[in-house]
Amino acid sequence: MARTVVIEVHGGPEVLKLVERPVADPGPGEIRIAQKSCGLNYIDVYQRMGLYKLTLPSALGMEAAGVVEAVGEGVTHLKEGDRAAYAASPPGAYTEARVMPAGQVCPLPDGISFEEGAAMMLKGLTVDYLFSRTTPISKGDWVLFHAAAGGVGLIACQWAKSEGIELIATAGSDAKCQMALDHGAAHAINYRTEDFAKRVREITNGRGVDVVMDSVGKDTFEGSLNSLRPLGMMISFGNASGPVPPVDILTLAARGSLKITRPTLFTHIGDHATCQEMAGRLFTKVNSGAVKIEIGQRFALDQIAEAHRALEARRTTGSTVLTL
């Protein structure tokens, strides 16, 4: 049996329930993992609220690290006793142990702790696809990154600096802006006190940025488009403030033949070989010291509702992990 967080209806943090669930043996292509720590991400909130629909009842959580207890037939990249970490579907990471598909589970290098593994996989693989797989980004290019003091954002600041990319961070307080600067951002804008699109134009001498990476959604979308140079790329990869309203595609032409995409991590890591390749790049960044994983908050599994409230209220910085 394993303590597991589930929801039976969509709603607020109050719908999160901690229950005991049996853990079976793995079938073909599966592993059983005893988890040491799991990560908290905004996709968990979207699923809990019903913005991303789940078949109910459902477990929650997409990211964790632990020790492989057993492997099913056909699994060759993992063995019993291996340290491992993942960002993976289906949901179910908020648990002490689980059986799950093995394809998106990655061997965790010895130099990376279980907490770091749980804090970095979904966020770090997201940063990898943003910088490595979505649109060409070269040394000297300008990137605008919203919510830069969060778990994804602090990794992105360091990743950009390691590759010579000029990252302009936005955040909701002066303290969070300073965190982004301390982690490698070239500039930081407090969007609560400044018009970030206007400030971006000032920083770039009127040109605009090459790429915007926006996980905030509704509240920042218009300003993000206004921050792009002609032929610039808008990457809308989240909805923390709510979904972006429908867009008139002619707007993109009028503002300089802009490009826009709405990617998801799970499209990129759906292929086993690609997932392992992406994880390899992430582990290299962390092991080299180019990226350090900032864990800002820890909650016990039975504090999951409070963890969700803190995330939604933007009271968190860096990554948040659940301790088991």
Helix 114-132 vs helix 151-162: angle between axes, to the nearest 10 degrees? 60
Q: Measured between alpha carbons, how far is 152 from 83 in angstroms, rounded to an integer?
A: 23
Please tell me whether residues 143 and 253 are part of one structural domain: yes
User: Does residue 295 share a domain with residue 233?
Assistant: no
77 and 151 part of one domain: no
Q: How many domains does the chain have?
A: 2
> Rounded to the nearest 10 degrees, what angle do helices 42-49 and 304-312 cross at?
100
Mean pLDDT by 10 residues, the chain (324 residues): 97 97 97 98 94 94 98 97 96 98 97 97 97 97 96 96 98 96 98 97 98 95 97 94 91 96 96 97 97 95 97 90 95
Within this chain, do residues 196 and 118 fall inside the same structural domain, yes or no? Answer: no
- Asked, for residue 129, whether it belongs to a domain, the answer is no
* Structural domain span for residue 272: 2-123+266-323
Domain presence at residue 208: yes
- Same domain (yes/no): 195, 87: no
> Do 275 and 257 share a domain, yes or no?
no
Q: Specify the pLDDT at position 243.
A: 86
Instruction: Give the containing element (helix H, strand E) for 31.
Output: strand 30-40
Q: Do 256 and 139 share a structural domain?
A: yes
Give the separation between CA 253 and CA 255, rounded to whole angstroms.
5
Residues 173, 271 within the same domain:
no
What are the C-alpha distances in Å from 144 to residues 186, 215, 226, 290, 297?
10, 11, 11, 20, 26
Which pLDDT does position 242 carry in this prediction?
A: 87
Look at residues 241, 262, 283 and tell me which one is the last residue of a structural domain. 262
Q: What is the CATH number of the domain that holds 66?
A: 3.90.180.10
Which residues are CB-contacts of 139 (< 8 A; sequence separation ≥ 6)? Answer: 163, 164, 165
Asked if 141 and 258 sit in the same domain, the reply is yes
Phi, psi of 248 (to 5 degrees): -75, 115
Whether residues 21 and 100 share a domain: the answer is yes
Among the candidates 262, 284, 308, a domain finishes at 262
- 227, 247, 262 — which closes off a domain? 262
- Same domain for 105 and 150: no
